Structure 1
Amino acid sequence: MLDWLIIGGGIHGTHAALRLTAQAGVAADRVRLLDPQPSLLARWTQCTGNVQMPFLRSPVVHHIGLSAFELFEFSRTPEGKRFAAFAPPYDRPAYALFQAHCHHLLTQHRLPELHIQSKAVGLHRMGERGWRVETPAGGLDARRVVLALGLSDQPAYPAWTAALASSGAPVRHVFDPNFRAAELGDWQQAVVFGGGISAAQLALALAARQPGTVTLLLPHPLRIHQFDSDPGWLGPKYMRAFEAERSLDRRRRMIREARHRGSVPKDVAQNLRLAAQRRELRLCEAQVLDAQPTDAHRIQLHLSPGDSLETDCLLLATGFDGRRPGGAWLDAAVATYELPIAPCGYPVVSRALRWARGLYVMGPLAELELGPTARNIAGARKAADRLAQVAERRRTGHQVTAA
């Protein structure tokens, strides 16, 4: 039986495994990461690679390493120096540097050896002993299970795309598991639909490839925010009031109001406007009333107030569906074991992120405890802090408060 089984090999799960094994004293052979992808961080790499981001939105201290300045220190090593580049403000690291650092950590700490390439299809309590996670290849038993499930398998599709999907029209979501931007062929007129940083970065990358053939279709005016929530949510400035709030409905409302959905940093907005001035891309702000395939290779978009666009390459950058991740197997466990959930369907957990005895959460599933940054890299670090404290106290025999 394992001591810890982490379901999810993305940023959150990988960072948790590193913290447990490299800092909290958990033996590596007692920890496993369950993820269906061929390698750890594969979906992160696919999604971020599809939008072709040059720099991360988050600052240099947000990464999957152990110490806050580890990424910066890596940038000064022979291995990292060739990727070393940072963007103001907050020294945001180049995407290539961030990825190189991740690869360095995976190799240095031999984390791929902890990876079990499979997926969870069931979750069963084994009395006081722990949990059994069912996979297509059989069960995995662990004293403690961490649900590090993200939203990457839940791309959000606008309602007006429903008819397009069944017609075989050339529409794809940039976060669809089957989409690879690197395999995208040439187009005559491409349309990127979305109002946030993913849509903006993708449109800029496509315009650099085929100038003058790309339209960024914005459903709202550009919303300029440096981060997707105020930095005050990383510490007591805003979290003190959040943690004092006992109503889970109001906590959900605070999270929703704190997030700057569909926003871009100032430098990305400037790059968009400059590209538009140079006629490398077109910026179009409009609502899509409906979309119809004109043939197997083209789509007509009818816009408000009366305009239209025709495209042979429609790419949706509309984020992720916010419903609770996990799907049917987790729904069944919630019902069977009466796991506590808020009216929004998300877990009600302790400060130690415990949902039930031996069952912990991080990422989106932890946001009613960790607040609006729970989904981000900063949220991964915050959650791993708490899980590492649980592991350390168990190892040393101390009582874990509210764990």
Structure 2
Amino acid sequence: MYKWIVIGGGIQGSCVASRLLEEKKAEVKDVLIIDPHKQPLERWRTITEKIEMKYLRSPLVHHLHTDPYSLKKYSSENNYASSLKGQYQRPRLDMFNQHSMDLLEETGVMECWLQGVVNGLSWTEQRWKVCIADGRCFFSERVVLAMGVNHTPHYPSWIDSYKDHKAINHVFEMDSSLPETGDVIVVGGGMTAAHLAYALTQKESIHSVTMVKRHPLRVHHFDSDPGWLGPKYLNKYHKLTSYKERRLVIQEARNRGSITRDLYLKLLKQKRAGRLDIHTGCIQKIREDTDGSMQLFMENEAKLEGTAILLATGPAIAMPGKEWLDPLIEQMQLPCAPCGFPIVPKSLEWKNGLFVAGALAELEIGPASRNIAGARKAAERILQFA
């Protein structure tokens, strides 16, 4: 039996697991990390590489190591050129990734890894039972639910009848790839869409790139105000006893569909150079033309055509792990908010050593819960109270 099972090996789960091992709260033999992918952070690294992201949106001190200045030291020790960008010292993505993987190797996270898809969780005989799709089950004193939200892409309703069309891909699908030629339409207005559109304009073999979004480009340094990382906003937030109100605050606090100023300027430069078209408005329907190209019909009666459509429309709005968490919630009468997400105390312990991180912890951690900073906060809380 394990002392800890961490479900999910992305940013959240890897941060918690590495802290458990680094701070000697557990030995390697006592920890099991279950994730659908072969290695830690695989989904994160695949998607960010696909859209050719160069720098993180978050600042230098947000990473997986306990020491906030670890990444800065790592940059100097390994002689990374142009390692930081802008006034907030945003780190190079490749440096952040290598720093993370080195840490996970050093702390022993790699030795705790199990590739598998969790499909069952239950409390039995005073311990947790975690089952995976191949039929195996594992027992543990404690479990951390650290599943990410990006495993289920959001497909807009207008694309339903063409969802499986070969010319249409969602960037969050792990096996999707970028087209090498033709006229490409990118749907979305946030960081993923902006990086994707810009990357495509750099490819000489791509004939044209069109970015379609529902709203004008929104420019913000971060996806939520830094005040949400400390008492400036969180003191008032934690006084809210209505979880319906907390959900509304989270929704309003997140700068959803926004991009950084430097990326905004890059897009405008490509637009002025004639390498990028930008359209704002809602898509009403889609149709395949006789020549195989795809046609998008806009609410303003405009019509856009492309040989490929790339969706950067984010994750589906759903609680991660819902299909196997719902029976557990009913069985153990676990407290949930009207939105269906866990109600947990400061310790992030839902019940009997069952902890949450990431999206599942956001009603306690706040708007930054899904980010790297949120992963650090969750790890600190879990280690403090476990």
* Pairwise same-fold verdict (TM > 0.5): yes
- How far does the alpha carbon of each residue in 1:41-77 deviate from its partner, in whole angstroms, 9 at most, with x for none? 1111112222221110000000111210101110011
Q: Which of 347, 354, 363 is matched with 2:342 structurally?
A: 347
Task: Determine if the alignment matches structure 1 residue 171 to structure 2 residue 165.
Answer: no
- Give the match's secondary structure for 1:34: strand
Q: 1:175-254, aligned counterparts within 5 Å?
A: 175-179=172-176, 181=177, 184-210=178-204, 213-254=208-249
Q: Runs of 4+ in structure 1 displaced over 4 angstroms?
A: none
Q: Which of 85, 95, 116 is matched with 1:118 structurally?
A: 116
Q: Which of 90, 93, 115 is matched with 1:92 structurally?
A: 90
Distance 1:303 1:172 in 2: 20
Task: Determine if the alignment matches structure 1 residue 3 to structure 2 residue 31.
Answer: no
**1:297: how far off?**
3.5
Percent identity, aligned pairs only? Answer: 38
Q: 1:97-176, aligned counterparts within 5 Å?
A: 97-128=95-126, 130-135=127-132, 136-166=134-164, 168-176=165-173
- How far does the alpha carbon of each residue in 1:4-34 deviate from its partner, in whole angstroms, 9 at most, with x for none? 1000000110110111111143222111111
In structure 2, the gaps of 5 or more residues are none
Task: Determine if the alignment matches structure 1 residue 372 to structure 2 residue 367.
Answer: yes
Q: Is the 8 A contact 1:187 1:313 kept in 2?
A: no
Distance 1:173 1:258 in 2: 26
Counterpart residue number, 1:56:
56
Distance 2:291 2:310 in 1: 16
The amino acid across from 1:264 in the alignment is I
Q: In terms of mean alpha carbon deviation, does 291-300 or 14-23 score higher?
A: 291-300
In structure 1, the gaps of 5 or more residues are 392-403
The amino acid across from 2:11 in the alignment is I
- How far does the alpha carbon of each residue in 1:116-144 deviate from its partner, in whole angstroms, 9 at most, with x for none? 1112111110243x201012241110000
**1:84: how far off?**
5.1
Q: 1:20-59, aligned counterparts within 5 Å?
A: 20-59=20-59
**1:333: how far off?**
1.1
Distance 1:132 1:84, change over 3 A: farther
Counterpart residue number, 2:380:
385
Q: Is the 8 A contact 1:24 1:389 kept in 2?
A: no
The amino acid across from 1:307 in the alignment is A
- Give the match's secondary structure for 2:59: coil
- How far does the alpha carbon of each residue in 1:340-399 deviate from its partner, in whole angstroms, 9 at most, with x for none? 1110000011110011111110000000000110000000000000111124xxxxxxxx
How many equivalent pairs are there? 384
- Give the match's secondary structure for 1:56: coil
- Give the match's secondary structure for 1:103: helix
Q: Is the 8 A contact 1:152 1:175 kept in 2?
A: yes
Distance 1:165 1:351 in 2: 41
Q: Is the 8 A contact 2:348 2:355 kept in 1?
A: yes
Counterpart residue number, 2:17:
17
Distance 1:385 1:151 in 2: 21
Q: 1:216-365, aligned counterparts within 5 Å?
A: 216-295=211-290, 297-365=292-360
Distance 1:295 1:60, change over 3 A: farther
The amino acid across from 1:382 in the alignment is K
The amino acid across from 1:178 in the alignment is D
- How far does the alpha carbon of each residue in 1:81-136 deviate from its partner, in whole angstroms, 9 at most, with x for none? 246521102100011111111121122223210101112111110243x2010122
TM-score (norm 2): 0.96
**1:200: how far off?**
0.5
- How far does the alpha carbon of each residue in 1:233-262 deviate from its partner, in whole angstroms, 9 at most, with x for none? 000011001111000000000001101110
- Root-mean-square deviation (CA, aligned residues, Å) is 1.4
TM-score (norm 1): 0.92
Q: In terms of mean alpha carbon deviation, does 360-369 or 103-112 score higher?
A: 103-112
